[in-house]
A and B are shown apart, each in its own frame.
Chain A
């Protein structure tokens, strides 16, 4: 990697000051994507602002939602009693990200801010109708993800926490890429009193997306059979060495079917 500056502030305010003092600075969360990118010399920021000291790693019960600090590690979410009780599907998702090392370094906020099209967390944010709390505002999930590796976050905006609505039922099932074991198709299904939300990750050319037809079908009948007649379109789906758009479309239906329990 190119040599760069490293700062570890103690609050979000200090972090913002630090990043403003740099030309092209980068916030460093768990570093699961950023550090390999730096090591391969694919990025050369003027400095790194490590936000792991900013006290952003608490998990709390907010009544109809679970609020998780942005710097909470996947392993902490997976093991959290609160999460396991209120939204076990979210704990299950966190427990299936990467490997043990990744789960003990990678963070919720880092994953969501990066919006990797194969990441697991964005599907939970979208399906659980979450609210992304930043240092300046609260953003609804439906407005947050704007494209592959793109979000509504503005320059120098930090995610501080994410509130996940408690569903009546939810599940996450992924078909991992055989090589990387990122989601080749991951489906998060969440049932609420006012309907079902289905978010698909790993498959969309524009990143994570909600599947309106499956949501409609499952909202009227929360049963895997409700999907039988649906034809999942392969339009807009990723095609690569490992899976064609058609294969991904088939997996979306199958993973959704398996998520309905």
Chain B
């Protein structure tokens, strides 16, 4: 009998088992994989933002050294290969649906952003492919580019199918009730905010390697994907019209995604297509410039907010009119992000009796915009929490107190918001209280005064956010326009010696699933976690899965694993009952042992496993041999993490530099499986949020050229931009999954930008500054200080 030595179960901060290979540089990423006979693909990209293609001359490139093939949009069209599809559409106010223009794999007749692929050169080496691409002559008839999305309606039409460059004009909520609330309000707080455009910047750039096997007419695609099954589904069903069984998609180690690797991009599809055309494996890897130009960007909203208050400063209505930039083509989740994942979050943590929102999604000659860490929820939280702080200041209340009187009370759960979501559980005052305590809120004014003596402006700002993770249930997703299910799968295979192989439909690209999921299984089965191996990212190995995005892996994927383990335990009990000659009802399972209640008769889990595979003494007439179970888990609701973050900053008026001097984050993620990994997610999320609030800005000029297309100009947060974070938790376990877990992957990025901007405005409030846009760069802050001083002088 195996002695159980150590169980690193749920709640234990086990070190990440996957880190050894990553920290020693031994990760196996797509670009590390090489296949015999492999050739390299290089994409010739448009250097103009908007143009008709008059002609493409590839003759010289075709005969350049090392070139195996040069292809353009007409080759793709001739083979009738489809382009990427939109995975979720919404209805428009006028009754029409979202306008879905085609997105050809290589440009056909027109280019629509700088970076749009015009041709692909396949050659023996990347240098040869690049040299040949320089020989391709494209004759463009340039059109006026549309860059300013707020006025895109008046711009040159980009797609025939999209009049006024408006993909959709969507609404949610009760407009007349909301307008009535605004009309009857004691006070209406108005604010316009912009959510700046971001480049996702995963450490590993996108890459694809496709191989065609002519004997069984099947493809293998290695690719940088957050969800290999969806990639397979889209490629097989919508692009190539081949059986899914003829396409294996492997997403090996993936170096970060942040949303940008959810979607099927044209490059991986072209590699698949070319691998058959050429009869050799085709590899493509983006360099950093291509990543800047062609990875889907994030955010890019402007929001007009009106918040109606009664005479007791209680919120009675909220109206938000939003225009967002979706770029040149509709990416897979581009439509759902600013609508369903944004409009439905507008109630925040507050009891708001009337809410209405209208969102217009615009086409522009910029790269596609889609989900980026938080996806819609950061935008909702930013506008709401900026407005809450502004309102508190306008009515002369402490921002914490103003939030407190408007919180959904603890006894009101489940709480039905006016924007479709029903929060199952939450308790908001405790995390507000705890965060205030963590940052010593009550003594802030002393710190402000002390900083003033040093000539520095000190400010404090908070943000109480709500997040909806783990999109669900599938039926609701479908009713809202989603074209996929939102369940997750797991297969738990017990090996004859009692070790476990877990096959999950989730995908890890930095999140630590190999550790977290193993902890769940180890905890439930009472076995050491080193006996549990987690396998993901290969459509030939794992059951159909939806992948990882939207902080769904633990709540949906973890719950599926938990369900499959329950099935294992149930079957094991039957086997144990047989072996112990007892009734199944009398078998208790505890600490890895099946015990006949009230006796010392027991069998270890490993003995049951062995009996299942060596069924010499086994109830074969009633029970199948083997011990392996599948589970597909469709959650009954979203999960709703919430929390309060408080930022403290100091501003140097001489330079405008904002230093983040303190940070308290108190989050309610439900039960924590691995608190260390959760804390890491919180740190990473806040770092990204600080990046958005202070540093990052994707900037196109009026010609549609991305001016911030390298790290020389696009400013990523670095370690020395960040303070030491104070991280704390409250816990209201999720009511509708067995583990009682919520999501934690995006919370930091959702909570932090408004907290930080609120702190910056608070710091500058002695100067009369009431607004600050993101990113609050030193130049912008310096200018605000100069302007306030010149106003004061007048």
Contacts and interface: CB of A to CB of B under 8 A. Distances in A.
Interface string A79-119: 00000000000000000000000000000000000000000
Nearest to B711: A179
18 contacts: A1-B127, A2-B131, A41-B130, A177-B712, A178-B695, A179-B695, A179-B713, A179-B714, A179-B715, A180-B712, A180-B713, A182-B712, A241-B699, A241-B708, A242-B713, A243-B779, A250-B786, A254-B654
Nearest to A247: B779
A243 B707 CA distance: 14
A156 B779 CA distance: 41
Interface string A1-16: 1110000000000000
Nearest to B780: A247
A3 B65 CA distance: 13
A37 B699 CA distance: 23
B655 A175 contact: yes
A251 interface: yes
For A2, A243, A247, the residue with the greatest tally of chain B CB atoms inside 10 Å of its CB is: A247
Contacts of B655: 175, 251, 254
B224 interface: no
B536 to A, nearest CB: 34
Given A179-B711, A180-B713, A242 B127 contact: no
B654 A242 contact: no
B778 interface: yes
A135 interface: no
A244 interface: yes
Interface residues of B, number: 24
A242 B130 contact: no
B605 interface: no
Contact of B712 (A41, A179, A247, A251): A179
Interface in A151-187: 175, 177-180, 182
A1 B130 CA distance: 9
Interface string B126-155: 010011001000000000000000000000
A182 to B, nearest CB: 8
Contacts of B131: 2
Contacts of A175: 655
Contacts of B786: 250
B93 interface: no
Given A41-B134, A247-B656, 14 more contacts: A40-B289, A178-B695, A178-B778, A179-B708, A179-B711, A179-B713, A179-B715, A179-B716, A180-B711, A242-B777, A243-B779, A247-B779, A247-B782, A251-B655
A148 to B, nearest CB: 16
A241 B713 contact: yes
Contacts of A1: 127
Interface of A: 1-3, 40-41, 175, 177-180, 182, 241-244, 247, 250-251, 254
Nearest to A182: B712
Nearest to A258: B654
Interface in B702-721: 707-708, 711-716
Contacts of A243: 779
Nearest to B714: A179
A40 B656 CA distance: 35
A230 B712 CA distance: 32
Contacts of A247: 656, 779, 782-783
A178 B777 contact: yes
A244 B783 CA distance: 10
B782 A250 contact: yes
Contacts of B715: 178-179
Max count, chain A CB within 10 A of own CB: residue among B707, B708, B714, B777: B777
B779 A242 contact: yes
A1 B656 CA distance: 40
Between B131, B695, B712, the greatest number of chain A beta carbons within 10 A of the residue's beta carbon is seen for B712
Most buried by A among B655, B699, B711: B655
A247 B714 CA distance: 19
B654 A244 contact: no
Please provide the 6 A-B residue pairs with the shortest distance between their CB atoms, ordered closest to farther.
A179-B715, A180-B712, A178-B715, A254-B654, A247-B779, A179-B713
Interface in B744-783: 777-779, 782-783
A112 to B, nearest CB: 21
Contacts of B654: 250, 254
Interface in B291-335: none
Contacts of B712: 177, 179-180, 182
Contacts of A251: 655
A45 to B, nearest CB: 16
Contacts of B695: 178-179
Contacts of A242: 713, 777, 779
Nearest to A179: B715
A203 B654 CA distance: 17
Contacts of A177: 712
Nearest to B775: A178
A3 B126 CA distance: 12
B202 to A, nearest CB: 18
Contacts of B778: 178
Nearest to A178: B715
A185 to B, nearest CB: 10
B694 to A, nearest CB: 8
A225 to B, nearest CB: 14
Contacts of A180: 711-713
B23 to A, nearest CB: 19
Contacts of A178: 695, 715, 777-778
Nearest to B718: A181
Task: Give the most central of A1, A179, A182, A250: most B CB within 10 Å.
Answer: A179
A41 B132 CA distance: 13
Contacts of B708: 179, 241
Contacts of B707: 241
Nearest to A175: B655
Contacts of A179: 695, 708, 711-716
Given A2-B131, A41-B130, A254-B654, A244 B714 contact: no
B711 A3 contact: no
Nearest to A248: B779
Nearest to B708: A241
A250 B652 CA distance: 13
Interface hub of A182, A241, A254 (most chain B Cβ within 10 A): A241
Contacts of B699: 241
Nearest to B657: A175
A254 B699 CA distance: 28
A250 B783 CA distance: 11
A29 B131 CA distance: 26
B286 to A, nearest CB: 14
Nearest to A181: B718
- Which residue of A178, A242, A243, A254 has the most chain B CB atoms within 10 A of its CB atom? A178
Given A178-B695, A242-B779, A247-B783, A3 B127 contact: yes
Interface string B675-696: 0000000000000000000010
Contacts of B783: 244, 247
Contacts of A41: 130, 134
Given A1-B127, A254-B655, A244 B779 contact: yes
